[in-house]
Amino acid sequence: MLKLYSYFRSSCAYRVRIALEHKGLVWDTIPIHLLKGQQRSEEYLKNNPSAMVPALLLENESVLTQSLAILEYLEEAHPEKALLPQNFQDRAIVRAMAQIISVDVQPLQNLRVTRYLKEEINASEAQVNLWLKNFITEGMSAFEVFLQRHAGIYCFGDQISMADVCLAPQILSTLRFGVDLAQWSKISEVSQRLERIPAFIQAHPKNQPDFSV
Ligand SMILES: N[C@@H](CCC(=O)N[C@@H](CS)C(=O)NCC(=O)O)C(=O)O
């Protein structure tokens, strides 16, 4: 069975959980508690030398890392219920939307970055909040423009895609860091639809075995 090294609140692990659920795959969770530093244990570093979740352990014992690479793997290994459009130009647009969130925004809000700002650069809580709000707002504003151009029922047309898989987890982080979603009409509209989709519900942090408050 597929095994996902995951942390309930990790937006990157949440992306992979959504894709696994969407494609109807059977998988199990191996919790890695990020606040307890388990991502840096000697044992876990063998799976992911970057000391981050997610990592996906395949049936043949290979381990895959980097959520976008894992999404691409799942798409190729299990093409049914596709998360990328048929047309290759459309696929490039969906990948760009996924990367706005996972390459341009998420790395700047990650735990090790905010910890470094506080502990090594001596940034205050208020300064770190400014940092988070600035980069989240910039990225989400760009994402909104893409939605204005390409959204249908979902982020790209009427089919759930990798853009939706990346958006839903980012919505939780955006709210958690106190950024008002109401400023982006399309993001608000699409994300409310995603909240009602079973794969997104099952993959939600609240529904994970390691969930805690
Ligand atoms: N580019 C990586 C980023 C993974 C990542 O940032 N994971 C976060 C949780 S969302 C993490 O494990 N952080 C641990 C830390 O910062 O110490 C991916 O997409 O998989």
Asked whether residue 190 is assigned to any structural domain, the reply reads yes
The reported pLDDT for the residue numbered 138 is 98
Residues 72-117: tens digit of each pLDDT: 999 999 999 999 999 999 999 999 999 999 999 999 999 999 999 9
The reported pLDDT for the residue numbered 73 is 98
Q: How confident is the model at residue 19 (pLDDT cuts 50, 70, 90)?
A: very high
* 100 and 63 part of one domain: no
* 75 and 101 part of one domain: no
Domain that holds residue 105: 88-199
Q: Are 195 and 207 in contact (CB under 8 A)?
A: no
- How many domains does the chain divide into? 2
Q: Which atom of ligand 1 is nearest to the CA of 113?
A: 16
**Ligand 1 lined by 39 (C-beta under 6 Å):** yes
Among 81, 111, 138, identify where a domain stops: 81
In CATH, what number is assigned to the domain containing residue 138?
Answer: 1.20.1050.10
* 126 and 143 part of one domain: yes
Asked whether residue 15 is assigned to any structural domain, the reply reads yes
* 108 and 73 part of one domain: no
Among 21, 48, 81, identify where a domain stops: 81
- Best mutation site among 53, 68, 119, 177 for ligand 1 pocket (most ligand atoms within 8 Å of CB): 53
* 159 and 122 part of one domain: yes
Instruction: Please give the C-alpha separations between residue 178 and each of 27, 74, 182, 187, in angstroms, as whole numbers.
Output: 33, 33, 12, 16
Q: Report the separation in Å between the CA atom of 66 and the middle of ligand 1, taken as the mean of its atom positions.
A: 8
Average pLDDT, integer, range 42-64: 98
Percent of the chain residues past pLDDT 70, beyond the cut: 100
**Ligand 1 lined by 114 (C-beta under 6 Å):** no
- The continuous run of DSSP H or E covering 14 comes out as helix 11-22
Q: Report the separation in Å between the CA atom of 55 and the middle of ligand 1, taken as the mean of its atom positions.
A: 10
Asked whether residue 208 is assigned to any structural domain, the reply reads no
Buried b (16+ CB within 10 A) or exposed e, 33-72: ebeeebbeeeebeebbeebbbbbbbeeeeeebbbbbebbb
Asked whether residue 207 is assigned to any structural domain, the reply reads no
Question: Is 131's pLDDT higher than 90?
Answer: yes
Asked whether residue 210 is assigned to any structural domain, the reply reads no
Model pTM score: 0.98
- Please say whether the dihedral angle defined by the alpha carbons of residues 164, 167, 172 and 178, taken in this order, is positive or negative: negative
Average pLDDT, rounded, for the chain = 98
Residues 182-204: tens digit of each pLDDT: 999 999 999 999 999 999 999 99
* 63 and 40 part of one domain: yes
In CATH, what number is assigned to the domain containing residue 24?
Answer: 3.40.30.10
The reported pLDDT for the residue numbered 80 is 96
Sheet containing strand 55-57, edge to edge, reads 27-31, 2-6, 55-57, 63-65
Among 81, 114, 147, identify where a domain stops: 81
The reported pLDDT for the residue numbered 213 is 78
CB atoms within 10 A of CB 146: 19
Asked whether residue 32 is assigned to any structural domain, the reply reads yes
Percent of the chain residues past pLDDT 90, beyond the cut: 100
Asked whether residue 158 is assigned to any structural domain, the reply reads yes
Instruction: Please give the C-alpha separations between residue 174 and each of 27, 64, 120, 136, in angstroms, as whole numbers.
Output: 28, 27, 24, 7
Question: Is 33's pLDDT higher than 90?
Answer: yes
* 34 and 98 part of one domain: no
Terminal CA-CA length for the chain: 28
**Ligand 1 lined by 34 (C-beta under 6 Å):** yes
Asked whether residue 204 is assigned to any structural domain, the reply reads no
The reported pLDDT for the residue numbered 196 is 98
